Homo-oligomer: A and B are copies of this chain.
Amino acid sequence: VADSGPGNQLAGGLATRLATGLAAAFPADLLRTSDADRARYETDHRRRYHGRALGVALPRTTDDVSRLLAWCNERGVGVVPQGGNTGYCGGATPDASGTQLVLCLERMNRVRSVDAPNLSMTAEAGCLLADVQAAAAGAGCFFPLELGSAGSCQLGGNLATNAGGLNVLRYGMTRSLVLGIEAVLPDGRVYEGLRALRKDNTGYDLRSLLVGSEGTLGVITAATLRLWPARRSTATAFVALPSPAAALALLQLLRGRCDDRLESFELLPRIALELVRRHVPGTASPFAEAPPWSVLCELASPAIEPLGELLQSVLADALAAGIASDAVLATSGSQRLALWAVRENVPEAQKRGGPGLRHDISVPVALIPRFVEEAGAELARRVPNATLVGYGHLGDGNLHFNLNWFAGAAPGEVEAAELPVRRYVHDLVAAYGGSFSAEHGVGQSKREELARYGSPVGLATMRALKRAFDPNGIMNPGKVL
């Protein structure tokens, strides 16, 4: 279908002319244009979004990126920046026109420097997150961004999408981990903002604006990141609880007693533990019988200190107060990993369990129990064949509020439910003062939601910023706005 209409023939002709021009202007080594070579850049990691690119540019240097963008800007060629391609919202997938250039940063994968005494490092956008973590660890430091996809996502994508993950409670999202950035603007000019300073109050915060702009304002090519001293003590526990309200009470108890040593606080409903047990064999179960709710929490510190004792004492008080009904503490590194495996296998178990719908919502932390109760009851009424699997970063007020059809769905049933369910969940989130995208960004899949729920003045301001940065509209067209 995509190639049959007259419009697409026009686009096809344009694509051919552009491809010829691109090949003439840049060395062959920088470009991939064959169908086979382009394929893996034209669809996302989960194969939900598909496009067709003019070609794929694989720059090795910031200067390469600069020349590529300048060339595209002069010709109005759309550019789709891409990292590890692991995003959930289609933000790195080109459209179907065959006229957009995918700009993949994977070759720019150098850790430029690690400065342990200054607790900072500078790395290029194409570094795998796991390699950034390892480089920090190699210098006795800790880079706290932690995602399930750490082994395949790239720093540039983390920066472009302001990635969240498992340690936001203590360290904030990616934006708060960045001291400086180097970025190429749409016309090819290079913003050299790599600074390793804790304090620099000299004008507008361009760094925070570019981080999280999902490739629509420019291309981040490198960043100077904040590091922390390496963690030398941890304590990890799975805690059984009667309700999300009890989980919130435990969160407050832990914050008050352990301060910012509390790094993770993940909420799981009974169904999540059951799914993992059923669909990911080999994953140890923390409890003989899955409790109604559970929390995976972790303390960490750079000091050698008895965090296990501290956690045990807080949990003993939680048990005595009836907040918790049971708790399992990891007593070794391998036990710790086993507890984390339960949490980390939830998305996979859910996928294996049956088709579903996903929502990445946040509300003020203290409203989570009420939100879960209200939305859970209403969804059970509206979509009786589906099961709610709402789990995730309770400490941040962020739940992955998903529905699954574990008994299988009739043809078209999930698709028919998608829009009404999304509308109900996101309307309720809005009524709670929450967000329809807590950590996954907007990309192409949540553009309509942004238009619907975004503040009108905020949206108008974002459009004005987009025009100021990118008057020719070449950067990641059709994403975010």
Is A21's beta carbon under 8 Å from chain B? no
Is A338's beta carbon under 8 Å from chain B? no
Contact assessment for B197 and A363 in the assembled complex, using a CB-CB cutoff below 8 Å: yes
Contact assessment for B202 and A303 in the assembled complex, using a CB-CB cutoff below 8 Å: no
Closest Cβ neighbor of A480 among chain B residues = B203
Contact assessment for A438 and B200 in the assembled complex, using a CB-CB cutoff below 8 Å: yes
Of A76-84, A373-381, A408-416, A461-469, the stretch lying at the interface with chain B is A461-469
User: From residue A207, how far is it (CB to closest CB) to chain B in Å?
Assistant: 8
> Which residues of B have CB within 8 Å of A192?
455, 457-458
User: From residue A458, how far is it (CB to closest CB) to chain B in Å?
Assistant: 6
Contact assessment for B117 and A366 in the assembled complex, using a CB-CB cutoff below 8 Å: yes
> Which residues of B have CB within 8 Å of A458?
191-193, 203, 206
Query: What 7 pairs between A and B have smallest CB-CB spacing?
Result: A117-B366, A208-B208, A200-B435, A468-B468, A199-B438, A198-B396, A118-B366
User: From residue A412, how far is it (CB to closest CB) to chain B in Å?
Assistant: 30
CA gap between A441 and B200 in the complex, in Å = 8
Contact assessment for B303 and A258 in the assembled complex, using a CB-CB cutoff below 8 Å: yes
Is A365's beta carbon under 8 Å from chain B? yes
Within 8 A of B (CB), among A114-154: 115, 117-120
Is A205's beta carbon under 8 Å from chain B? yes
CA gap between A161 and B201 in the complex, in Å = 8
Within 8 A of B (CB), among A191-250: 191-193, 195-206, 208-209, 211-213, 217, 229, 248
Given contacts A176-B176, A202-B437, A203-B442, 5 further A-B contacts (CB under 8 A): A117-B366, A192-B458, A202-B436, A206-B462, A229-B259
Contact assessment for A199 and B397 in the assembled complex, using a CB-CB cutoff below 8 Å: yes
Contact assessment for A465 and B468 in the assembled complex, using a CB-CB cutoff below 8 Å: yes
CA gap between A207 and B365 in the complex, in Å = 20
Contact assessment for B259 and A434 in the assembled complex, using a CB-CB cutoff below 8 Å: no
> Which residues of B have CB within 8 Å of A450?
202-203
Is A45's beta carbon under 8 Å from chain B? no
- For this complex, 19 residue pairs linking A to B, each with C-beta atoms less than 8 Å apart, are A115-B364, A118-B367, A173-B201, A197-B434, A197-B435, A197-B438, A198-B397, A199-B438, A200-B438, A201-B440, A202-B441, A202-B446, A202-B449, A203-B442, A204-B209, A204-B462, A205-B212, A229-B255, A461-B469
Contact assessment for A212 and B206 in the assembled complex, using a CB-CB cutoff below 8 Å: no
User: What 1/0 mask marks residues of chain A from 453 to 481 whose CB sits below 8 Å from any chain B CB?
Assistant: 11101111110110111000000000011
Most-contacted residue by chain B among A169, A202, A397, A441 (CB, 10 A):
A202
Most-contacted residue by chain B among A208, A255, A438, A461 (CB, 10 A):
A461
Cross-chain contact of A201 among B204, B302, B437 (Cβ < 8 A): B437
CA gap between A462 and B364 in the complex, in Å = 33
CA gap between A461 and B190 in the complex, in Å = 11
CA gap between A211 and B201 in the complex, in Å = 11
> Which residues of B have CB within 8 Å of A196?
364, 433
Evaluate whether A197 and B117 lie within 8 angstroms (CB atoms) in the complex, with A205-B211, A208-B205, A461-B469 already known.
Answer: no
Contact assessment for B260 and A260 in the assembled complex, using a CB-CB cutoff below 8 Å: yes
Total interface residues on A, CB under 8 Å, equals 91
> Which residues of B have CB within 8 Å of A446?
202
Is A257's beta carbon under 8 Å from chain B? yes
Evaluate whether A205 and B198 lie within 8 angstroms (CB atoms) in the complex, with A117-B365, A365-B119 already known.
Answer: no
Is A252's beta carbon under 8 Å from chain B? yes
> Which residues of B have CB within 8 Å of A211?
205
Is A306's beta carbon under 8 Å from chain B? no
Most-contacted residue by chain B among A168, A191, A198, A212 (CB, 10 A):
A198
Is A69's beta carbon under 8 Å from chain B? no
CA gap between A230 and B44 in the complex, in Å = 45
CA gap between A168 and B201 in the complex, in Å = 13
Contact assessment for A176 and B172 in the assembled complex, using a CB-CB cutoff below 8 Å: yes
Contact assessment for B176 and A255 in the assembled complex, using a CB-CB cutoff below 8 Å: no
Closest Cβ neighbor of A190 among chain B residues = B457
Cross-chain contact of A175 among B205, B434, B435, B440 (Cβ < 8 A): B205
Is A398's beta carbon under 8 Å from chain B? yes
Cross-chain contact of A120 among B206, B364, B467 (Cβ < 8 A): B364
Evaluate whether A204 and B212 lie within 8 angstroms (CB atoms) in the complex, with A118-B365, A190-B457, A464-B469 already known.
Answer: yes
> Which residues of B have CB within 8 Å of A213?
204
CA gap between A209 and B458 in the complex, in Å = 12
Contact assessment for B173 and A199 in the assembled complex, using a CB-CB cutoff below 8 Å: yes
Is A64's beta carbon under 8 Å from chain B? no
Is A362's beta carbon under 8 Å from chain B? yes
Cross-chain contact of A439 among B201, B261, B367, B434 (Cβ < 8 A): B201
